[in-house]
Amino acid sequence: MAADTLLKLGVVSTMSSSHLVAFLQALRQNAPGLELEIWESNCEDIALALERGDIDLAIMTLPEYPDGFRIIELYREPYHVAFPPGHRFSNMSEVPLCELEGEDYVKRLHCEFPSNFVRLKVAKPYHAVKTRYATEREDWVQTMVAAGLGVTLIPKYLPVLNGLETRTLIEPRVMRTVSIVTRAGRRHSIPVMRALETAKGLNWEQIPASGTFSCPTFMA
């Protein structure tokens, strides 16, 4: 693959699939000859790869970025509380943060949620909840919640397991910002320029959520 047609893109694993596909569709229209290598991981690993030059640009959700990165904000995404059917949160239209006190909690290890509290000057919630499980796997987290093992906090546009219920978190409302990021001081290739043009021209707020997914059934 030629350097003027290849784009190495890092994408945070919790990005909405519908938002990613909308970007890829728009990029295909803007640069039909482009060839993409898409690498999915957590923000910390993606930032290291961008720093080293292993990837050309990244879509990330860090609350703060190193000085050597150039950031273009794409859209903001509120956090929701996810819980199993029949939970007391079902009777609430929105869930105040204080209502999580004493709840069994399934912690998403690469969640950006706690870092946002530094900016809000609010205590992190993990002292109030009972963290029973912690894992990197988003599907495991949601399956545990659906099974009644606890509640969790997820970004609004993350695909949700069938049967799982969600409510917007309030008091405070916590948002994450999804951004496209390049390395400062590095000359932009033609593929990078096309990707940045596409990202800036896309109406991200009008893209629908990814919807639900089903857990596979295993037969003995």
CB 210 within 8 A of CB 157: yes
Query: Maximum Cα–Cα distance for the chain, whole Å?
Result: 56
pLDDT value, residue 158: 86
| Rounded Cα gap, residues 136 and 42, in angstroms | 9
pTM (two decimals) = 0.86
pLDDT value, residue 210: 65
| Rounded Cα gap, residues 175 and 155, in angstroms | 8
CB 210 within 8 A of CB 156: no
CATH numbers and ranges of domains, the chain: 6-75+177-206 (3.40.190.10), 76-175 (3.40.190.10)
Q: Both tokens of residue 178?
A: 């999804």
pLDDT value, residue 74: 97
Handedness of CA 18, 20, 21, 25 (dihedral sign): positive
Over the stretch 5-59, which tens digit does the pLDDT of each residue have? Answer: 899 999 999 999 999 999 999 999 999 999 999 999 999 999 999 999 999 999 9
pLDDT value, residue 129: 85
pLDDT value, residue 196: 97
Q: Both tokens of residue 5?
A: 């047609």
pLDDT value, residue 217: 44
Which are the contacts of 177, defined by CB distance < 8 A and separation ≥ 6?
Answer: 61, 63, 73, 74, 75, 76, 77
Q: Both tokens of residue 20?
A: 């990613």
Which portions of the chain are predicted below pLDDT 70?
1-3, 112-127, 210-220
